[in-house]
Amino acid sequence: MQQSTPDEIEMLLAFVRDRDASCPNCGYNVRDLTKPICPECQEDLLLKVGSRVYPIRWLLITVAPGIFTGITSVIVAVLFAIALVNTTNTNVSLGSLKTIPLDAIALATFFALSAVVAIVIIFMHKRFIRQPQPRQILWAIWLWMIHLCAFFIFLINVIP
């Protein structure tokens, strides 16, 4: 965190006095501030010239498990399609194929839905980033916990 001098703080407060300005983190209107802190997300506000760093850390942490499970679901679908084509080419009837276990179908469905959620969050990234950082952290923890639970359920069903 960069410390502001008293003169910089006074210039910031003078700038937002009687002027609509948005918090760069959450978009909250910081007009008429009395302290250089956003009242909505508690982000320290600085008066500076130039572009700021886009706060995507919690966005990336939140969507990471969905991206990885989405990639995994595509790989599994391709492998299944290859196996299906090989079975069809060798004149083996589809009825002789082993049925796909319900656990595998549930896991593949979870992977696909997880990828869809990650894609939706990515497309709505501005809305996600405008949320206060504690809420972004809760989203990340919640989605990671769901994926870890799914992983452990998968391990329990796979390991004899």
DSSP state string for 118-153? HHHHHHTHHHHHHS-HHHHHHHHHHHHHHHHHHHHH
Number of domains in the chain: 2
Task: Flag whether pLDDT at 62 surpasses 80.
Answer: yes
Q: How many CB atoms lie within 10 A of CB 115?
A: 21
Which of 4-18, 30-44, 82-96 is predicted with the least confidence, judged by mean pLDDT? 82-96
Task: Flag whether pLDDT at 105 surpasses 80.
Answer: no
Give the range of the structural domain holding residue 19, as residue numbers without chain letter: 1-53
Considering the domain architecture, whether residues 91 and 149 belong to the same structural domain is answered as yes
| Predicted confidence band of residue 49 (pLDDT cuts 50, 70, 90) | low
Considering the domain architecture, whether residues 133 and 73 belong to the same structural domain is answered as yes
Q: Which of 68, 42, 54, 53 is nearest to 133 (CA)?
A: 42
Considering the domain architecture, whether residues 64 and 139 belong to the same structural domain is answered as yes
Task: Flag whether pLDDT at 98 surpasses 70.
Answer: no
What is the Cα Rg of the chain in Å?
24
Considering the domain architecture, whether residues 37 and 22 belong to the same structural domain is answered as yes
Measured CA to CA in angstroms, residue 105 lies from 7, 49, 77, 160 at distances of: 62, 53, 11, 19
Q: What is the pLDDT of residue 1?
A: 47
Report field, pTM of the whole predicted structure over 0.75: no
Considering the domain architecture, whether residues 42 and 89 belong to the same structural domain is answered as no
